[in-house]
Amino acid sequence: MNTSIEKFAYKVFNLLDKNYPKEISFLHFENNFQLLISVILSAQTTDRQVMEVVPVLFKKYPDPLSLSKGALDDIMNIIKPVGFYRVKAANIKKTAAKLIKDFNGIVPDTIEELLTLSGVGRKSANVVVGSLFGKPAIIVDTHFGRVVGRIGLTQSNVPEKIEKDIALLIPKEKQYRFSMTANLHGRKICHSRKPSCASCFLKSICKSVIS
């Protein structure tokens, strides 16, 4: 560690790592294809809503080939409880078709390739490479952005800039773990409207509490 901000980031990582389970997963899946589709569906909606619809979806369309051939109206009907279901139905059908056409039905393991799939942005791509392939991944969603911003690791509200800022502070081998623990911290303690600062184990170093 060469700078004070890097040392600070290391301290934050260690506290998060110490206080949360070693295994953290917000989406339940049985294979790579299921995670990819679930991540696409999770955009701008809750994980709970996604978990309500995917059992039915994957029972009827268990693999890329079957989903690529599924009727769009049927797919929309299955995932209707999820926000933006029309767009998402089209996206997962297109993604399934592209997996067959360009990737032999296999979920790719690079950010660049994942970004060619319909409905997959940087956040989703990072979830996939981090969770499935153990690669460096900084997953910037609303929870993560809120936590790293409040604690003082970034001053940006732009996801791409937040990702770059954190990448400079957290070693690659720790980035996915940091993403998951910071995300969980945002869900459990550092809430959007009313953070539980009194019970937060980061309160002694958090910039939002100190300042």
pLDDT at 211: 47
Its pTM surpasses 0.75:
yes
Active site residue 164: no
CB of 167 closer than 8 Å to CB of 175: yes
What is the predicted pLDDT for the residue at 2? 59
What residues of the chain score a pLDDT lower than 70?
A: 1-2, 210-211
Q: Which position among 141, 161, 174, 188 bears the catalytic label?
A: 141
| Tokens 């059908």 belong to residue | 93
Q: What is the pLDDT of residues 25-83, one digit of tens each?
A: 999 999 999 999 999 999 989 999 999 999 999 999 999 999 999 999 999 999 999 98
User: Is residue 123 annotated as part of the catalytic site, yes or no?
Assistant: yes
Structure tokens at 202: 């980061």
Q: Which of 88, 93, 123, 165 is catalytic?
A: 123
Output the pLDDT for position 3.
83
Residue 210 is predicted with a pLDDT of 54
Buried b (16+ CB within 10 A) or exposed e, 16-43: beeebeeeeebbebeebbbbbbbbbbbb
